[in-house]
Amino acid sequence: MLNPNEWFTEIDEDNHSAFSFKIERKLHEEQTPFQKIEIYRTVGFGNLMVIDGFVMLSARDNFLYHEMMTHPVLYSHPSPSRVWIIGGGDCGSLQEVLKHPEVEEAVQIEIDERVTRLAERFFPELCRANDDPRAQLKFEDGIEWVKRSPPGSVEVIIVDSTDPLGPGEGLFTEDFYRDCLRCLSGDGLLIQQSESPLFHPHILHPMRKAMKSAGFKEVSTLFFPQPVYPSGWWSGTVAAKSGIGHPRERDIANKPFSTRYYNLAIHKAAFAAPDFFLKAVEEQETTG
């Protein structure tokens, strides 16, 4: 049994597994009106943010998630000038979005302001773009934001949400996707984190079905490693109003910023799905 004073452990009872971090000390703990947030200093993964007992991000490997939740969808859109990030309070996705010079406006809609304020304190490397004049930080309900926004008001929506529990539960529904579809412009794209393809097919496949039922023309899931999340293998699902299209290869090759994981080859390979996933998709579509 690991000493809880020396190790933080997230246990996945459903999949009979766990992931542990050796910790130096707890840096912060608070209960917000929405959730419990803890920050730890770990030995091997730098600072660690935990929400309601679930790991949100670590300083060591968050670049995998933030790069793959932003660059593939932005480079798949012909002109992503207006971007919304629903959730994403740690600001890592916002920072990656604003590396794209074609983005004229990026609005982050996070329900819990304390996530952002704690990120600014304990993960300042993720918050360097917060003062970019193109950035807007809104602390309100993302579901309501989308519901009241006018048609065709955004090119790309990035749903950087927690698991479908608590404040994040309503972000996985057909009604929410239908509102997103209405807000997107003609070539609009949405991407949402879609959990582990190995551990959470009961979330991922109904989510894809809800996107299609909402009216999205094309839905495709991309895959990437994420050591601190259950199974170590994560996904994002892209939904297109008219079609996902091909990546802007020349722009990727000449991108004016560096990445640690994402490149053109990764972009193309990430959409290659394993056979067990394709079979599950086929079965779902056949049975309706």
Q: Which residues are catalytic?
A: 160
CB 57 within 8 A of CB 43: no
Tokens standing for residue 276: 């067990």
Beta strand pairing status for 154-160 and 184-193? Answer: parallel
Integer Cα distance of 54 and 163 in angstroms: 9
Helix axes 174-183 and 201-214, enclosed angle (nearest 10): 50
Tokens standing for residue 81: 């000038």
Helix (H, G, I), strand (E, B) or coil at 150: coil
Integer Cα distance of 162 and 206 in angstroms: 17
What are the angstrom distances between the C-alpha of 105 and each of 55, 102, 127, 176, 186?
Answer: 29, 9, 16, 22, 18
